[in-house]
Amino acid sequence: MKVAVLGAGAWGTALAVVLASKGVPVGLWARREALAEAMLAARENRDYLPGVALPPYIQPTADAGEALEGAAFAVVAVPSKALRAVLADLPAAPAYVSATKGLVAEGGALRRVSEVIREVTGARRVAVLSGPNHAEEVARFLPAATVVASSDEGFAREVQAAFTTPWFRVYTSRDLVGVELGGALKNVIALAAGMVDGLRLGDNARAALITRGLREIVRFGVTQGAREQTFYGLSGVGDLIATATSLHSRNRSAGERLVRGLTLEALERERQVVEGVYTVRALYDWSRARGVELPITEAVYRVVYEKEDPIRALSALMGRELKPE
């Protein structure tokens, strides 16, 4: 069995390493010819995942047709903002696994990445792979667990079997909506946790924020048809903890740097993608249009997009109406 990985950032590369480490041939598609050539020459992705050797079973290429040729399924690991345009340009695969963690805002509607994949490609077999999985650790064979969710149980099991290794444990789930939203929304809470870190507000504050953040994720997720229980698993609270507390997390670190003077414009120019910056805007617009309260999302939005003083935005969370937990 061969697999195509679309997107040669840190995560696409790490997932390719997982598959190739067990002898699965992988076509790793990079948008830029120069990156594909550099990976071929150095057998390393120095731009996005330096220090990790690419096993021989990985075939880097900028030719999507070559990457997809004979693949049983394609793993989508491109940033959510580029998703639609990238997919529209590529040949179709028999099935898709989304590894992208974000939301796509289109004309006032919020779309999940798997919905966009389904719509653009017409594929019927679509799964989401999501969990507490920093690429830097997964690619170095440190132990990790993840979830593959699909409404097609057979496909979820196929993907589970493809990715499972002695150090990468894969669970299945039928709650695709819950698994997908857990991965997207935790980035917003991780931005907020980074702001707490940047302001040196302490461990108690970070724990309170993560816990109330989980509540906010559940509140939104349930309105979208997710099962509440899913958010208490690996792809929910598991990923929230990994992202909101890790030195690897780009979202957490972006929050920290934004309150210390980094501008949004400078952040957007950086090479690595910080999905939470787009997710928070999409969620904020959605919540305002529907009158749904998402207080942490609102605070993060105001700091990132309205340049509100972060102390003021976070104090507003403390000063909300008192109520039972």
Ligand X SMILES: O=C(CO)COP(=O)(O)O
Which sequence positions are flagged as catalytic? 186
Which of 180, 216, 256, 275: binder of ligand NAI (CB under 6 A)? 275
Helix residue ranges per DSSP H, the chain: 10-21, 33-42, 64-68, 83-89, 113-121, 135-138, 153-163, 176-198, 203-223, 239-245, 250-259, 264-269, 276-290, 295-305, 310-318
Assess 242 for contact with ligand NAI (CB under 6 A).
no
Assess 26 for contact with ligand NAI (CB under 6 A).
no
Residue 5 to residue 314: CA distance in whole angstroms: 39
Which of ligand X, ligand NAI, none does 102 bind, CB closer than 5 to 8 A by kind?
Answer: ligand NAI
Report the site for ligand NAI in 28-67 (rule: CB under 6 A).
31, 48
Q: 138: phi > 0 → left, psi -120 to 50 → alpha, else beta; which? A: alpha
Please identify, using beta-carbon distances, which residue of 208 and 267 lies nearer to ligand NAI: 267
The least CB distance from residue 105 to ligand X, in Å, is: 18
Residues 6+ apart with CB under 8 A from 236: 178, 182, 186, 214, 217, 230
Strands 2-6 and 26-29: parallel
Sequence letter at residue 102: G
Q: Which residues are annotated as a binding site for sn-glycerol 3-phosphate?
A: 101, 131, 186, 239, 249-251
Assess 238 for contact with ligand NAI (CB under 6 A).
no
Report the site for ligand NAI in 73-112 (rule: CB under 6 A).
77-80, 82, 86, 99-102
Closest to 310 (Cα-Cα) out of 266, 249, 265, 256: 256
Q: Which residues are annotated as a binding site?
A: 7-12, 31-32, 48, 101, 131, 135, 186, 239, 249-251, 273, 275
The least CB distance from residue 190 to ligand X, in Å, is: 6
Strand partners, 130: 147
Interface ranges with ligand NAI (CB under 6 A): 7-12, 31, 48, 77-80, 82, 86, 99-102, 133-135, 272-273, 275
